[in-house]
Every structure is written in C-alpha cells, then in structure tokens.
Amino acid sequence: MMDWTDRHCRYFHRLLTRRTLLYTEMVTTGALLHGDVPRHLDFNAEEHPVALQLGGSEPADLAACAKLAERWGYDEVNLNCGCPSERVQRGAFGACLMAEPALVADCVKAMRDAVALPVTVKHRIGLDRDEDYGFVRDFVGQVAAAGCEVFIVHARNAWLKGLSPKENREIPPLRHEVAHRLKRDFPSLTIVLNGGLASDEQIAEHLGHVDGVMIGREAYHHPWRLAAWDRRFFGAPEGPDDPDAIEAAMVGYMQRLVAAGEPWTRASRHMMGLRNGQSGARRWRQAWSDPAWRTLSPVEVSVRARLALQPAVAEA
C-alpha cells in the first residue's frame, strides 16, 4: 500500500505478529534502477519475513531489481499485476499486465533465473466488466508454467477506466468464490485470497478453501487484531496481550529514529489505530497527533497520551 506500509509501519506490525508475512509498498523498477536504492529498500532486521513488491513490465529491469532484493536480504519478490491506477497504467504495469500473460510469464522467468528467492504474483480476477472465469484461469496457468507457484488473488475485477483506485477497491463486486475455484483447478499452487476480509471469523472460513489470506487496510486501521493471529492461525503458544507494551516498544523505536536524525512522526502515524475500541482512544490519538507536541520527545508525548486515556485527567 503506497505511502502506508513503509519500514516504520512494518516494524510496528511485527511487534503485533511474529509469523505473518509482511509486504513493502509497491516499488517501481525505475525508482530502484535510477533512484535512491537505500531509501526504498532499507528495512529493519526485525521485519523478517518480509517481501518486496515490485511494479514493472520489463523482464530485464525486474530481474535486476530482484537481484537487489536478494542482495538486501528480502525473503520474497512479488510482482504487482493488480494496481489499477491510471498513473500505473501509463507505466504499462499493474493490473493492465493481466491482458498480457505471456509478458508476465517472461517477467517471472527472468526474475526466477536471476535469483533464488521465491517469485510471486499479485493480481485481480478480471479486467473491466468481463467476469469470464476462463480469463483469470488462463492467466494463472500461463504464469504458473513460467515457474510462479504463489498467486495472491484480489477477488475483484480491475476497472481500468472511470474509477479511482479507492473506487476500484469498493465498486467492482467481490467474488471470493473465484479464488476458491482457482485453488480447486490448481491444487499444487499456493492461492492466497485478498479483498474484503474484515474479521478473524472470515479469515478462518476462507482458509478452508485457500492456502492463505492477505489483509491490507483492515490490518492498518485496526492493528490490534494482528495480536491474535500468531495464536489463532499459526498455533503459537503466546502473543502480545497489552497495547501499553506495544506503545512502549514503539516509543523506544521512535527514540532511536530521533537519535539517527529522523522525525519520530514518521513512525507514530502508523500506530494511530492501536487503541481503536478502547475507552479514550480518540483523546490518545489527538495527543500523538498534536502539532504543538512534535518538538517533545516520544517519551514525553507517550506520557501525555497515556494520561489522556483517563477521563478525569483528560477533563482536567
């Protein structure tokens, strides 16, 4: 998710779940080949396992970027064939690549030949208003023949004209059954479902039909839900049970950012949903977001934010 799942966000999410695979923002091949590589690829060791998502359509460029991902220590390279934005379309990648499965297959093969990392593909289930299952089935089949074994299926069509990216996440109807059918037709592939999953109960239900699920904005806006995933879905014996401890860990992280010359607000913005549903959460968010307190240390702001959780103190 562009401008959302940066390294600070991923560090925060890793405090909540140790087992879940994390993904970067989509990074274009041009940004890596002609831009500031450390700015795009630097990450915290605590983030593992973490996948780099690439946007591009030139096999040679994607292979070069996959080599960078391997060199920087990523655990997976993912090719975005699902983003419908007009800017991405002008770059001839994202969802419009679904119309060129042979090219996607060439891209996958070039990356697989270049690195030992797993190469995966994220895609939609169709383009525009064409809901023919054969389209996505043939896309998956052709790309799988090039060596891709993991497909992350956003279970909506991508409407390439007339809708914003936000509308493309809401207006095309969800068809989860298409991902289920792909798993039945390609039992040897790993099929991961994405789109419209808002509860652990929904996740558990779909895991009876597919191999995994990807959660995006729901996880970002309600991050405390991640705290139960290691126990529920991975069988881990324990997980975080105290938002206060997570906040304290983030304060320590932000202190280290300040020591390195970075504003702590680059990290604090990602944890605004930590206390959603808790009494005083709005006052807590206001404290962390108050522009007047940005000159204070993260420790000082945390003290004020924690006090704001208490109604009597907040009124005073």
Beta-carbon count within 10 A of 153 CB? 27
| pLDDT, the chain, mean | 94
Please report the pLDDT score of residue 17 as a whole number. Answer: 97
- Say which residue the tokens 């929904």 belong to: 202
6 phi and psi angles, rounded to 5 deg: -80, -175
Same domain, 187 and 266: no
- Say which residue the tokens 């895991």 belong to: 207
Same domain, 215 and 286: no
Neighbour-count burial of 129, counting CB atoms closer than 10 A to its CB (0-12 exposed, 13-18 middle, 19+ buried): exposed
Which residues are CB-contacts of 222 (< 8 A; sequence separation ≥ 6)? 273, 276
Same domain, 31 and 70: yes
Same domain, 22 and 132: yes
Same domain, 114 and 163: yes
How many CA within 13 A on the CB side of residue 277? 7
| Range(s) of the domain holding residue 89 | 7-234
What would the pLDDT profile of 128-149 be if each residue is shown by its tens digit? Answer: 999 999 999 999 999 999 999 9
Q: Is the peptide bond before 49 cis (omega within 30 degrees of 0)?
A: yes
Please report the pLDDT score of residue 91 as a whole number. Answer: 60
Longest dimension (CA), the chain: 66
Residue 176 above 70 pLDDT? yes
| Structural domains in the chain (count) | 2
116 phi and psi angles, rounded to 5 deg: -95, -5
Amino acid at 17: T
Among 195, 213, 234, the domain boundary falls at: 234
- What is the C-alpha separation between 192 and 196, in angstroms, rounded? 13
- Residue 198: both structure tokens together: 């808002």
Same domain, 226 and 252: no
Q: Is residue 1 part of a domain?
A: no
Q: How confident is the model at residue 242 (pLDDT cuts 50, 70, 90)?
A: very high
Domain of 116, CATH number, reads 3.20.20.70
Among 217, 234, 251, the domain boundary falls at: 234
Same domain, 297 and 250: yes
- Concerning whether 96 is annotated as a catalytic residue, the answer is no
Same domain, 214 and 67: yes
- Active-site residue identified among 65, 83, 96, 107: 83
Same domain, 223 and 154: yes
- Residue 24: both structure tokens together: 């970067």
Same domain, 261 and 194: no
Beta-carbon count within 10 A of 56 CB? 27
Among 169, 199, 234, the domain boundary falls at: 234
Q: At what angle do helices 133-145 and 176-185 cross, to 10 degrees?
A: 50
What would the pLDDT profile of 11-44 be if each residue is shown by its tens digit? Answer: 999 999 999 999 999 999 999 999 999 999 999 9
